[in-house]
Amino acid sequence: MEYLFTKEQTQFRESLQNFFRKHSPTSEVRRLMETQLGFDREVWKNACGSLGLSGIAIPEEYGGSGFGPVELSIVCEEMGRSLYCSPFLGSVICAGSAINLSSANKETKEQYLSRIASGEIIAALAVTENKPMWGDENFVTAATPIDKNTFQLTGEKNFVISANAADVILVITNLEERATLFAVERDAEGLDISDLSVMDPTRKMSACSFDKTLAKCVGSIDLETLCSHVLIYLSNEMIGGAQQLLDSAIDYTKLRFQFGRSIASFQAIKHRLAELLLELELAKSACYQAAQALSDNEKIKERSSLAKSAANEAFLKAGLECIQLHGGIGFTWENDTHLWFKRAKSSEVLLGNSAINYERLLLAIPTVDSVLRRAS
Amino acid sequence: MEYLFTKEQTQFRESLQNFFRKHSPTSEVRRLMETQLGFDREVWKNACGSLGLSGIAIPEEYGGSGFGPVELSIVCEEMGRSLYCSPFLGSVICAGSAINLSSANKETKEQYLSRIASGEIIAALAVTENKPMWGDENFVTAATPIDKNTFQLTGEKNFVISANAADVILVITNLEERATLFAVERDAEGLDISDLSVMDPTRKMSACSFDKTLAKCVGSIDLETLCSHVLIYLSNEMIGGAQQLLDSAIDYTKLRFQFGRSIASFQAIKHRLAELLLELELAKSACYQAAQALSDNEKIKERSSLAKSAANEAFLKAGLECIQLHGGIGFTWENDTHLWFKRAKSSEVLLGNSAINYERLLLAIPTVDSVLRRAS
Amino acid sequence: MNDFSELRKEVSSWINANWDPSLDLITWRKKLADSGWGAPDWPKEDFGMGLSPEESSIIEEEFSKKGVIGAAQSGVRLLAAVTILEHGTREQKDRYLKPILTGEENWCQLFSEPGSGSDLAGATTRADLIGDEWIINGQKVWNTSAHHADFGLLVARTNWDVPKHEGISYFIIDMRQKEVEVRQLRQMNGHASFNEVFFTDARVSRENILGTEGRGWQVAMTTLAYERRSFDRARRVSSDMAGDASIYREYEMELEKANEPYKWYPQRAGRGDLVLETAIETGAIENAAIRQEIARFHVLNESAKWTAARAKAAQKAGQPQGPEGSLGKLAASRVAQSAARVHTSIMGNGALLTGEGSLKDGILAEVLVSTPAISIAGGTDEIQKNIIAERVLGLPKEPRFDSGPFRDVQKNADKSST
Amino acid sequence: MNDFSELRKEVSSWINANWDPSLDLITWRKKLADSGWGAPDWPKEDFGMGLSPEESSIIEEEFSKKGVIGAAQSGVRLLAAVTILEHGTREQKDRYLKPILTGEENWCQLFSEPGSGSDLAGATTRADLIGDEWIINGQKVWNTSAHHADFGLLVARTNWDVPKHEGISYFIIDMRQKEVEVRQLRQMNGHASFNEVFFTDARVSRENILGTEGRGWQVAMTTLAYERRSFDRARRVSSDMAGDASIYREYEMELEKANEPYKWYPQRAGRGDLVLETAIETGAIENAAIRQEIARFHVLNESAKWTAARAKAAQKAGQPQGPEGSLGKLAASRVAQSAARVHTSIMGNGALLTGEGSLKDGILAEVLVSTPAISIAGGTDEIQKNIIAERVLGLPKEPRFDSGPFRDVQKNADKSST
């Protein structure tokens, strides 16, 4: 994609839209968000199987379809738009990227990625201890060697996405001062997964604690790069949600009459929707550009935080405006707006709010980084 | 004033408005801003004499009228509204406050304040070397003792308001690690005053350099308190300017017709003017509250920076909106809007933009200060 | 200046002679209503004493000082009372006023509709006179007490062929009939403070119209004017009176029930009071970027408080309360939204959580999902801006499109609002 | 795919045979105009070759490669040319087109009025036919070249009794008559890029109407459509051709004169390119609060660039250019305002100064007093938002109040605009 999506990409997007329209209407989202699991295993299998979503960004050599970051971003955007409840972000994006970016050999990667790609297993990625941004953590989770590839993990990880459904938990902590990826099987002793009461019930998260839990060392990993990957996909998911909110606000204001005229004819409302469109288009540019950066493997740290902060502001604004333009009804449970609004609020802080990403993106600019190093 | 101005204060304000309407129409402002001196000596004498403006906040014992900070703030607000060109801020507010707050004995204070009050002399205050906020400076201007009260100053001070017209320059620099106030006569050897090319031509500023220049030591001074005083008066001046811009925008939009209707009837314009009014009323509250704080001698550091940041945002917004609502004509030299806009931009950075004042006001809150001290 | 010492003496001696905490709540209040001391600013013939509001507040003070329970005030009962006092017939006053004061009968306000939030006069709930009864059909929404109300203050359209303000009538409707269905409406923050009310051939007997047919808008203005004036007061009632007698427990339950819908309102306002505290507790204060946000919020919050104080002082000084209230409402809306944003920054990952276990016992999470309401409830920000622009700044009004017969005014295609 | 190698060969051989840098500029261009190579996309009978725009740009490329000076392009001369080509009579084409190409005669656009900035069709400059002459009275403003123009493209009202778009006619006016007074208008940033033009019984001979009486709006649309399309191109002309011959000096002077009004435009756009550089030079980058502002600006600036690139790519891919341009304009406006703000923070006390001695040779000070123009010029932000809302989002139009006879439409009380 050089600024424009190709015809194939556009067709791909449309097929995704059809799938989610059919399998993830808000009635289904509402049903699933009240369950402990949080998604429908049948639909997920279907998505992995017929649509191949779980394998989309996994290299062909590991059984995936080997599409690029642009296609994967399209998937995320459409999932964000439909609020499709699934382990996609946790298993495919987070855990899949971690395996793929790790120093593991081909055999090890294949072992995990092929099963993630086929949907045979669900994996989760446990990184966060305290800080919003992964790269800012000083990990205290301890890895004690048992033999060459086996370790005992002791510590706690928080906000692990889809851990409730995971067959394997991938854990990142330091080993000899290097970020290292470990794999813990669901039934390992000393592993405790406890579900969190989260603001956004469409995305389940858990706290995981490890008490001398056996773990296999997968390999070392560049945490900043992993973080950039996840930020970019998350951001693309977010603009999908923002688009849905904008569409909903437009549809509603066109239908609604007060004082004898469509409220969409009031200039104040027209101008606000125009501004929201601008904000969204700007954020889309930032997110698409970031996906392209991944594809080109260029400036991904800067672009990822740029995308996240743009998506943060656009999604939150879209949520607030959509509620406001619906009036009282927009604040009710019955109205769907809050489902996306809560996703917006949660996504805003996931991997850092705008302030944190602002700082990160500036430090990714070499001239800035070198001046600040000199100054400190 | 407990939230409301008294009847006397309101009458006082009206008399000021009459004076400035008569003596400081924009035609006069435009004439004076092109001169080197920058104000009209006759009108200034009149203001000092019949109106007693120069002595308004100077204690009665020093020949002033001894009104309180609230009255003085009213003067500043009305001056800001009319953009009256005079040495008021430089001589009365800055230099007068410095003398008054210094540790000088009564005799010394009287010597300066009575002549500032009568308008007999114009004084200027030289503090800034590099930093926007006075309290942030590490002064390098050196004071070398000659005898008990006489020193030689060597160094440079920048952005000295009304120095071009000053009979005496009051200089603040460190003496034995304490901020100390020195007085330099206009004709002192080694004093060089060079006029700066300033963005706001209605407020003249100069750079002053001292080369072994003889100076009298006036006394030590609490720089933070002085800074707070000046911030509060400056902020009140700023909201006067903001009010003028709002009034002008309203008047213009009411008169102007496009597409067969008054542009003031367009909802987008109505809502923006309503928001601007809110912003201005909020800033007024902050500024009046700060004047009251001075009167009560309570929380003045916090309140002063609070007022300044509120005034910054309101004044700048008023300037931008006033230009925008005038359309193309608002960007012309012929239209008066830019006179206030340039005052807004200059005032914004004078004694610190909002960011600097945000930090200052938080540090003035004891709980915050103590936590941060502990952390560092 | 009158210090009202005579009045104080008089109320004091009446209390000494009559107050008996061993009575049950209703019995005590019946006595109170009959005496006139329960509503001293009401007319003498209507359970009052014809005193001024100022005298009334002296009496309230004395009651409060002595821990004496006054007449029932909760909910919208007093809105009902003032409206009936001003527009009611003798029979209506006799029937309804006393049980309002005693708390025996509860009321609700049935004004807003799904299709007319900001546009009250655009009501489409219809009342048709058939025989001696008005037959009501339609839907109301956004009332807080319909689910335990005995009677409702209902605005409905009786004439579709005149301009919208002229075709409305005002009714007292019996809420206990089966043709009235009340459904609680859950909000996005999980609370259920409001009701939807559906009327399917519900009945109002002919004598229960308030005022005359087609003049309901004027009657509604009485209710709304009092609502604006008394908003603070109605919320302020709290049990600061000591006492073990069961009458106090009855009283507290009454209050609790009445305040139930409002318990999240502090969160709706943003809980700015918790900003600095949380920032210090979490250590977020050490982050320079967050400090900027906190300070920016602090400036707004303090400025808004002082602006409110200035408006109140102006009002006290006899300057009439006008549309300046809209400025305060708009400021409150900004404060709440800004608070939610700065809380989010301070909370960091904590904002992912909700419920009791989350930061500050779940209060902050509730802030995040409650503040969007403040710029809608009680007149949207947009309506406030119109009011400020037109009535404070004197800018021209928008052209109107609803001045003809209501039948011809463009309305929502269907009444379901999602 | 055609690589136009034939065409390239042809133009190349023509240049080899004809280009002579020792000629003076006008002489060369006369030759060029007569040959058709100066305006190859114009019709054959009008100094062109009837080629496609694509072929035309190939020719331009070849000229540029060889350092050959082309036909005059500066100012609004090409707007005049396309309008005359589409609506002009044979006589008008013969009279005006060639001196446009040679640069001998300069043009200006007289559309905007003090009373109708955004509302072009609300023009009140009048043209009355008296005998064989149109007599012009009124005032125009916001043109950049009237002070050295020979002819003006004038829109004036010829009928006041029909709706506003139908009463306008389009004229070619001789600017060298004494009844036309041009005054330069100084801006708040000190530059004087625009003119006011006053007409007091100025004359246009009958044959100098373009199109027919009352159809001036349609003619103006041609001019405006081309203006939108060619905006970039007109500015882009620059002397990247080497050469010492005096013809190059003549050419450069022509460009300089044409670009004079626009020399502050980079500052109007905010000079975002200087943000990081200045922050590093001044050390402001070390301040965490300023870093936040810089990063926020950077996000906006990068996003806006990519949005513009997306729009351009869509256009190139054959998707028609539509109101999306309004999004770009709105984004540019945000970028400029945001840049001015972040520059101010970085400059600190430096923002108190102006002129050559201030930061970055005065460029930043000029940014601060120039950016307010970007949200006004070429259609205000408000107009852009209307366009986006109505044409991109499909929201309903505002009701109109100016559809009746223009005589009855409410207008500014007086024409002076302050």
For the segment A151-199, what is each residue's pLDDT rounded down to a tens digit? 999 999 999 999 999 999 999 999 999 999 999 999 999 999 999 999 9
Task: Give the residue on B whose Cα is nearest the Cα of A269.
Answer: B268
- A131–C117 C-beta distance less than 8 A: no
Q: How far apart are CA B292 and CA B298, in angstroms?
A: 9
3-class secondary structure, B169: strand
- C392–B277 C-beta distance less than 8 A: yes
The pLDDT assigned to D319 comes to 72
CATH of the domain at B159: 2.40.110.10
For residue D385, the chain A residues in CB contact (below 8 A) are: 270-271, 274-275
A69 inside domain? yes
A194 inside domain? yes
Write the residue in D289, D399, D401 that is nearest to C292 by C-beta. Answer: D289
Domain identity same for B205 and B239: no
- Residue D178: how many other CB atoms lie within 10 Å: 7
- d(CA A355, nearest CA chain B) in Å: 15
Q: Which is nearest to C340 in space by CA: C375, C306, C315?
A: C375
Least-confidence region, from A207-216, B318-327, D321-330: D321-330
Note whether C334 contacts B: Cβ–Cβ < 8 A: yes
| Chains in contact with A via at least 3 Cβ–Cβ pairs below 8 Å | B, C, D
Fold classification of C264-379 is Butyryl-CoA Dehydrogenase, subunit A; domain 3 (1.20.140)
What's the whole-model pTM score? 0.94
The pLDDT assigned to B242 comes to 98
**pLDDT > 70? residue D37:** yes
Q: How far apart are CA D94 and CA D85, in angstroms?
A: 10
DSSP label at residue C320:
P
Note whether A106 contacts B: Cβ–Cβ < 8 A: no
Note whether C288 contacts B: Cβ–Cβ < 8 A: yes
Note whether B267 contacts A: Cβ–Cβ < 8 A: yes
Mean pLDDT estimate for chain D: 90
Domain identity same for B106 and B151: no
Mean pLDDT within C383-399: 92
- B118, B142, B171 - which closes a domain: B118
Q: How far apart are CA D42 and CA D48, in angstroms?
A: 4
The pLDDT assigned to D416 comes to 37
Q: How far apart are CA A151 and CA A183, in angstroms?
A: 10
For residue C288, the chain D residues in CB contact (below 8 A) are: 288-289
Domain identity same for B323 and B302: yes
Mean pLDDT within C218-229: 84
The pLDDT assigned to C413 comes to 58
Mean pLDDT estimate for chain A: 95
CATH of the domain at B250: 1.20.140.10
- d(CA C178, nearest CA chain A) in Å: 25
Q: Which is nearest to D144 in space by CA: D91, D214, D210, D193?
A: D193
Note whether D330 contacts B: Cβ–Cβ < 8 A: no
Mean pLDDT within D319-338: 85
Our count of domains for chain B comes to 3
Residue keyed to tokens 């604004």: A317
pLDDT tens for each residue of B158-170: 999 999 999 999 9
CATH of the domain at A69: 1.10.540.10
The pLDDT assigned to C230 comes to 52
- C377–A255 C-beta distance less than 8 A: no
Mean pLDDT within D35-62: 92
Domain identity same for B209 and B315: no
Is the CB of residue B231 less than 8 Å from the CB of residue B73? Answer: no
Q: What is the CA radius of gyration of chain D?
A: 24
CA of residue D374 relative to chain centroid, distance: 14
Share of chain B above pLDDT 90, in %: 88
Range of the domain at A101: 7-118
Q: Which of B63-67, C74-78, C240-244 has the highest mean pLDDT?
A: C74-78
Write the residue in B4, B273, B359 that is nearest to C310 by C-beta. Answer: B4
3-class secondary structure, C107: strand
**pLDDT > 60? residue C418:** no
Mean pLDDT within B181-199: 97
Domain identity same for B64 and B127: no
Domain identity same for B202 and B277: no
For residue A278, the chain D residues in CB contact (below 8 A) are: 327, 330-331, 334, 388
Mean pLDDT within D362-384: 94
Write the residue in D295, D386, D396 that is nearest to A264 by C-beta. Answer: D396
Considering only residues 199 to 218 of chain A, which have any Cβ-Cβ distance to chain C shorter than 8 Å?
199-200, 205
- D372–B323 C-beta distance less than 8 A: yes
Note whether C187 contacts A: Cβ–Cβ < 8 A: yes
- A266–B271 C-beta distance less than 8 A: no
pLDDT tens for each residue of D205-253: 999 999 999 999 999 999 988 876 654 443 333 445 556 788 988 998 8
Q: Which is nearest to B338 in space by CA: B159, B200, B161?
A: B200
Higher pLDDT: C2 or B303? It is B303
The pLDDT assigned to C3 comes to 77
pLDDT tens for each residue of B243-284: 999 999 999 999 888 888 888 999 999 999 999 999 999 999
Q: How far apart are CA A109 and CA A126, in angstroms?
A: 18
DSSP annotation string for B26-75: HHHHHHHHTSSS-S-HHHHHHHHHTS-GGGTTS-GGGTS----HHHHHHH
- A118, A138, A169 - which closes a domain: A118
- B265–C310 C-beta distance less than 8 A: no
Domain identity same for A291 and A259: yes
B166 inside domain? yes
- A118, A144, A160 - which closes a domain: A118
Share of chain C above pLDDT 70, in %: 93
A285 inside domain? yes
Least-confidence region, from B241-250, C56-65, C117-126, D233-242: D233-242
**pLDDT > 90? residue C225:** no
| Chains in contact with D via at least 3 Cβ–Cβ pairs below 8 Å | A, B, C
pLDDT tens for each residue of D50-65: 999 889 888 988 998 8
A132 inside domain? yes
**pLDDT > 90? residue D114:** no
C→D contacts (Cβ < 8 Å), by residue, are 288-289, 292, 399, 401
- A271–D385 C-beta distance less than 8 A: yes
3-class secondary structure, C321: coil
Q: How far apart are CA A311 and CA A288, in angstroms?
A: 11
Confidence band (pLDDT; 50, 70, 90) for C136?
A: very high
Mean pLDDT estimate for chain B: 95
Note whether B267 contacts C: Cβ–Cβ < 8 A: yes
- A359–D291 C-beta distance less than 8 A: yes
The pLDDT assigned to C404 comes to 84
Mean pLDDT within D178-201: 96
The pLDDT assigned to C229 comes to 61
The pLDDT assigned to C311 comes to 86
Considering only residues 59 to 88 of chain D, which have any Cβ-Cβ distance to chain B shorter than 8 Å?
none
Q: Which of B283-297, D105-119, D222-236 has the highest mean pLDDT?
A: B283-297
**Structure tokens given for B129:** 């070397």
B17 inside domain? yes
**pLDDT > 50? residue C236:** no
**pLDDT > 50? residue A276:** yes
Write the residue in B262, B281, B357 that is nearest to C327 by C-beta. Answer: B281
**Structure tokens given for D344:** 């101010």
3-class secondary structure, D329: helix
- D395–A253 C-beta distance less than 8 A: yes
Mutate which of C286, C292, C401, C403 to disrupt the D interface (most D C-beta within 10 Å)?
Answer: C292
Note whether D357 contacts A: Cβ–Cβ < 8 A: no
Mean pLDDT within B172-186: 97
Q: Which is nearest to D252 in space by CA: D238, D263, D266, D265?
A: D238
- d(CA C412, nearest CA chain A) in Å: 5
**pLDDT > 60? residue C144:** yes
Domain identity same for B131 and B168: yes
A374 inside domain? no
Which is it for the CA torsion A290, A294, A297, A299, positive or negative?
Answer: positive
